[in-house]
Every structure is written in C-alpha cells, then in structure tokens.
Amino acid sequence: MANRKLTANALVALLASACMILATAAASGSAPLKTMSPAKDRPYALLRKRLLLDGWLPIQNARCVQESRRAQACNRWLELQRCEGGGRCLMQWGDGDGARIMRVEVSGVPAGDEADPVQAQATVIDTAERPVQAASPAAVRCPATDFGPFLRAFAGTPALRRAFVAPLVRATVLVSDAEGDRLEPAYVRGDREDVFNIAYRAGAFHHVGVDGVDADPLPLDIRASTPDVREVGYVYGSSEGRSFEFTRRKDCWYLTGNPRPTGP
C-alpha cells in the first residue's frame, strides 16, 4: 500500500512539473512547437484535471460527432476533436489567455455511455503545445473606435467579422448527461459560422438562424461592464437568447466571448 501511495504522489508531482513547463512556455508567444513528454503513457484523467486546475479550457469541435463517431464522448469531453480506429483520439485545449493550444493524443477513449472523463481508462500517447495562429487583420482597417459604429459595421460586413474575432472565443456550452443539464466553460473557434449570429441591414439588427436572416428588427441590450468590454445580448422569440462579449484592444474591438449560449 505504501508503494502504491508513493507511486501516485510521484505521478502527481511529475504532472505538476510538466504544467510548470507549459506555463513558462505560454509566456513566450514565439516559442516553437514542443513535445511534453512527462505526461506520456500516464492516465489522461490526471492530466485533464491538472489542465482544468491551471485554467486551461477545452476547445470544442463543432463536428466532433461526425469526426469521432462518439456522441456521448463529445458531450462529456468537450475537448475531443476526432478519433481513429481502436479508440485513439485527439484532444485540444487552450490556455487561460487564449494564446496557446495544447494537442493531446489519447488512447482508450470509450464510444458508449461509459464515456466518463474521470472513470475512463484513457492513456496519454503524446502531447504538444504551440502558439495560436491568429489571422492578421492588417489588411482590414478597424471601422470605428466607438463601439456603436463598430458593431454596426461588424454585423454588416463578413470581412470585418472574420478579421475582428479572436481565434479562440470563450463560451459556455450546454452539457446534458445522466447528471442532468449544466453549463461548462470552453473555447469555440472564432471561424465557426455560429460564433456570431446577428446581421445589420437597412439600418437595423436582425437575427440569423437556420432559415437565414429574420426580416424583423432584433432589439439588442448593450452593456459596458468595463471601459474596454461590451456585452451584447438579445432575446429572440419566447425562449431563445444569446450574448456576445467584445474586448477593446490597442487597435480595435474584438469578439472574445459567447457568455450566454442559445437557449432559455
């Protein structure tokens, strides 16, 4: 029993050391892709827990079910990207600043209802970390420094939406399983089509849904939580609503968050 306890303590210490290396690397945006060998061949549940404690967020793949064929795992493991035969899967995480991505190859990811991240006997095959590759808006000029004119231009011009969305957007994702419904924090990629679903046409904002742009104007609730942050929210119909967070950086405003997902 003492030997088992010693082994467990040594494993935790080893993973903690690995995460210290990750934190150091995250401070340098120009650091090259590096392989994090200390977590190799270790239980993925331990690495996953450590990443969450250190402020990393799972990066959700909108096509996870199609690319992994593991619907339950996609619902429980928001970081799951895709799987190959034999339960070998790719996970992706973003650091707290949205500046770095960690790729984790894992074996033993279950396909059925037993897809519990804590209980599943999944093992880390390899890990690697790299800076986020941001699309440079250098060719697109900021339409306005005042938020009102900026939002109208952003909602009305696809090129501006692509240029002034953060590569990783903080979101809250609805998870439904045997434990009930709950919201969990995650990143979604800024290039997802549904990351922003408001259009500006003919002097008014409009809701964009699966059937296209609603002809009726969409009232927006715009709030300034700080001088450099704006939250834009709406209620659509009797139950649907969303919110979007914009952050002012040195050159312009950027869509950085989806704090409230679609739903009641």
Tell me the per-residue pLDDT of 208-245, one tens digit each, with 9 for 90 and over.
988 899 999 999 999 998 999 999 999 988 667 899 99
Q: How many CB atoms lie within 10 A of CB 58?
A: 23
Q: What is the pLDDT of residue 138?
A: 57
> Quick one: pLDDT band at residue 18, thresholds 50, 70, 90?
very low
| Counted domains in the chain | 2
- Domain edge (last residue) among 131, 164, 186: 131
Give the phi and the psi of residue 43 in degrees, each rounded to 5: -60, 130
Domain boundary among 69, 102, 131: 131
For the chain, the average pLDDT equals 81
pLDDT for position 85: 75
Do 40 and 114 fall into the same domain? yes
Among the candidates 73, 97, 131, a domain finishes at: 131
Task: Indicate if the pLDDT at residue 44 is higher than 60.
Answer: yes
User: What pLDDT is stored for residue 173 in this prediction?
Assistant: 85
- Looking at the structure, do residues 97 and 163 belong to the same domain, yes or no? no
More confident residue, 262 or 232: 232
d(CA 253, CA 239): 29
Q: Is 80 exceeded by the pLDDT of residue 146?
A: yes
Residue with tokens 């952050």: 247
| Domain limits for position 254 | 137-260
Nearest to 44 by CA among 22, 15, 73, 65: 15
pTM above 0.75, yes or no: yes
152 and 176 assigned to the same domain = yes
Residues 169 and 72 placed together within one structural domain of the fold: no
| Cα 183 from Cα 4, distance rounded (Å) | 36
